[in-house]
Amino acid sequence: MRVVDKPWGHEEIWAQCAHYAGKFLIIRDGEMLSRQYHERKEETICVLSGTLSLELGPGPDQVELLQPGQTWHITPGTVHRFCANHGDVRLVEVSTPELDDVVRLADKYAR
């Protein structure tokens, strides 16, 4: 397993090959990922612990609160942001292998 530190927490990449990738995302309370979309990457997430605020759309236009056991599928081009507004969040993500396919539209950490 490879751990990648992020300003919002960290990723634990447990699978990566030519056809798929799997990772855990640990988002600290009050932190968020960038508002982003992927040109090619397709992903499905499942919340393991905490309450994930999933912002959808450029505004965001929609916010979904996902509890442990709930899943969401994100297709290429879907604008989204993961937020831990209600305590720490741990989720698992399974995706196509393009881990660097990130187009950031807004970022709290100026990346």
Q: Which CATH number goes with the domain that contains 31?
A: 2.60.120.10
In the chain, the number of structural domains is 1
- Buried (b) or exposed (e) across 10-47, using 16+ Cβ within 10 A? ebeeeeeeeeebebbbbbeeebbbbbbbbeebbbebeb
Residue 48 DSSP symbol: E
For the chain, what percent of residues have pLDDT higher than 90? 95
Q: Provide the domain limits for residue 74.
A: 2-106
Q: Is residue 89 part of a domain?
A: yes
* Structural domain contains residue 41: yes
pLDDT, average across residues 1-8: 97
Amino acid letter, 26:
I
If one counts every other C-beta atom within 10 angstroms of the C-beta of residue 108, the result is 14
Which residues neighbour 61 within 8 Å (Cβ) at sequence distance 6 or greater? Answer: none
Q: What is the mean pLDDT of residues 23-51?
A: 98
Please, which pLDDT band fits residue 10 given cuts at 50, 70 and 90?
A: very high
Q: Tens of pLDDT along 45-85?
A: 999 999 999 999 988 789 999 999 999 999 999 999 999 99
In a domain, 111, yes or no: no
The mean predicted confidence, pLDDT, of the chain is 97
Query: Is 32 among the domain residues?
Result: yes
Q: Which among 69, 71, 60, 14 has a CA at the least distance from the CA of 33?
A: 60
Angle (nearest 5°) at CA 69 between 59 and 60: 0
Radius of gyration of the chain (CA): 13
Tell which wins on pLDDT, 86 or 58: 86
- Please report the pLDDT score of residue 59 as a whole number: 81
pTM of the shown model: 0.94
